[in-house]
Amino acid sequence: DAGVTQSPTHLIKTRGQQVTLRCSPKSGHDTVSWYQQALGQGPQFIFQYYEEEERQRGNFPDRFSGHQFPNYSSELNVNALLLGDSALYLCASSLLGSSTDTQYFGPGTRLTVL
């Protein structure tokens, strides 16, 4: 049973560029959430997607946008990159309305902005 997968593993960009990160949820899951984890901090919620719609959003600017596809996979897009966007970006999947409804995380994409 494949878990949550993310690509790429690492990414280096320069300020002002745009980046797209990808996530495939755990088999049987329909909901994808994205988190940003700065060094030495806990993950911070960016947004959650269900049925191809953004279901809830954290305190992140509009430079952060996302998309969910019919196969439940998801993309996170960040425009006009800032140095402060350097972080580990985590994708988590879950099954909406299940008895436990816990979120399972992928390995993350480490983004470095120079």
Partner 1 sequence: QKEVEQDPGPLSVPEGAIVSLNCTYSNSAFQYFMWYRQYSRKGPELLMYTYSSGNKEDGRFTAQVDKSSKYISLFIRDSQPSDSATYLCAMSATSGGSNYKLTFGKGTLLTVNP
Is the Cβ–Cβ distance between 83 and 12 less than 8 Å? no
Nearer to partner 1, 9 or 71 (CB): 9
| Binding of residue 108 to partner 1 (CB under 8 A) | yes
Q: Look at the alpha carbons of 59, 54, 91, 83 in this order and tell me if their dihedral is positive or negative.
A: negative
Largest CA distance in the chain: 43
Any residues with CB less than 8 A from the CB of 50 and at least 6 apart, and which?
30, 31, 32, 68, 96
| Binding of residue 110 to partner 1 (CB under 8 A) | yes
| Binding of residue 25 to partner 1 (CB under 8 A) | no
Least distance to partner 1, CB of residue 14, Å: 23
Task: Report DSSP state, residue 72.
Answer: S
| Binding of residue 74 to partner 1 (CB under 8 A) | no
Q: Which residues bind partner 1 (CB under 8 A)?
A: 4, 33, 35, 40-45, 48, 55-56, 58, 88, 90, 92, 94, 96-97, 100-108, 110
